[in-house]
């Protein structure tokens, strides 16, 4: 049976795990003993290790034919040291992975002024966290070329589910931008992203990038209004950008400073995946299933 290694066994990977466990013998890298039982129940064999500690990664070499990579970079710097440590560990044996599916971020595009964006658009990251993701993508692509490993990159926007909604922000009464200042935002349900990441292991061509976004075409303020309606909460106040900057954190403002509308035709055509929640409204209507 083919073997799969999961790096970054968070929410999305855990959602993908039952489906993957029917198709692979699955190993999952975990940092804590408390995670062992969780991944075992979902069908994976836990392997203790830490991407920040290279010595703990040695046992990963040669262990799997495929890798689902869903771990984020470290919090600082402009390069992704975790990805480079992982690839160095995987390359220490002649038996290398044949396929890697990597969950990146649409933030690598930077601010596109509300334009529609497909995968041919150059990456122009505007924040350190997005630059780290670009570095990770480059390292993975280089590894794929050197090792003849088929690397698929999924550029995911805002991931949502019933337990991944901005509830506290709405309850606090944090404002959003007025229509004049607002930005276009993109989303994907965690269930659909998990499915895309899994199918990329089977159907993606090597070196291919996919915008892993749903079909929604919304400004950020409208998204918050939809979530508020679904939860029975008040709509957030609309304020101009200068006022928002006085009330919101720099990190939040950075998300409110990039506007783009992702085109998702490529994954529909090449991965042949039909989204379970093609629009945010679909996901919000069925919160109990999320």
Q: Is 90 exceeded by the pLDDT of residue 94? A: no
For residue 92, name the pLDDT band (cuts at 50, 70, 90).
confident
Residue 75, burial from CB neighbour count under 10 angstroms (0-12, 13-18, 19+): exposed
For residue 9, name the pLDDT band (cuts at 50, 70, 90).
very high
The pLDDT of residue 95 is 83
- Give the tokens for residue 102: 């990597």
- Which residues lie below 8 Å from residue 40, measured CB to CB, with a gap of 6+? 46
For residue 287, name the pLDDT band (cuts at 50, 70, 90).
confident
Asked if 92 and 32 count as a contact pair (C-beta separation under 8 A), the reply is no
Q: Is 80 exceeded by the pLDDT of residue 193? A: yes
- Give the tokens for residue 265: 């035709």
Rg (CA), the chain: 19
Integer angstrom CA distances of residue 263 from 9, 155, 214, 260: 28, 11, 9, 10
pTM for this prediction? 0.95
The pLDDT of residue 248 is 93
Phi and psi (nearest 5°) for 231? -100, 0
Q: Rounded to an integer, what distance in angstroms lies between the CA atom of residue 26 and that of residue 6?
A: 7
Residue 239, strand partner residues: 177
Q: Is 80 exceeded by the pLDDT of residue 186? A: yes
The pLDDT of residue 290 is 46
Domains of the chain: 3-163+187-217+259-289 (3.40.50.720)
Does 286 or 57 have the greater pLDDT score?
57
Closest CA relative to residue 102, chosen from 73, 75, 64: 73
List the single range of 10-14, 70-74, 78-82, 251-255 with lowest mean pLDDT: 251-255
Q: What is the mean pLDDT of residues 147-169?
A: 96
Mean pLDDT of the chain: 95
């Amino acid at each position: 049976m083919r073997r799969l290694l999961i790096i970054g066994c968070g929410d999305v990977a855990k959602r993908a795990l039952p489906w993957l466990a029917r198709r692979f013998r699955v190993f999952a890298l975990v940092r804590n003993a408390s995670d062992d039982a969780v991944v075992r129940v979902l069908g994976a064999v836990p392997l203790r290790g830490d991407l920040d500690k290279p010595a703990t990664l040695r046992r990963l070499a040669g262990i799997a034919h495929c890798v689902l990579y869903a771990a984020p970079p470290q919090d600082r710097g402009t390069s992704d040291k975790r990805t480079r440590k992982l690839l160095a560990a995987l390359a220490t044996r002649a038996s290398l992975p044949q396929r890697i599916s990597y969950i990146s971020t649409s933030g690598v595009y930077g601010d596109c002024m509300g334009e529609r964006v497909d995968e041919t658009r150059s990456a122009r990251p505007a924040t350190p966290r997005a630059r780290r993701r670009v570095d990770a993508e480059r390292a993975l692509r280089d590894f794929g070329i050197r090792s003849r490993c088929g690397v698929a990159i999924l550029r995911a926007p805002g991931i949502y589910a019933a337990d991944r909604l901005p509830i506290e922000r709405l309850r606090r009464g944090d404002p959003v931008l007025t229509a004049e200042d607002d930005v276009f935002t993109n989303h994907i349900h965690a269930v659909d992203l998990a499915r895309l990441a899994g199918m990329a292991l089977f159907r993606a061509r090597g070196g291919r990038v996919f915008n892993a976004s749903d079909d929604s075409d919304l400004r950020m303020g409208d998204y918050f209004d939809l979530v508020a309606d679904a939860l029975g909460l008040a709509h957030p106040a609309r304020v101009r950008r200068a006022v928002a900057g006085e009330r919101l954190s720099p990190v939040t403002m950075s998300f409110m400073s990039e506007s783009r509308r992702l085109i998702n035709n490529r994954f529909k055509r090449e991965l042949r995946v039909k989204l379970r929640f093609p629009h945010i409204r679909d996901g919000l209507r069925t919160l109990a299933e999320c």
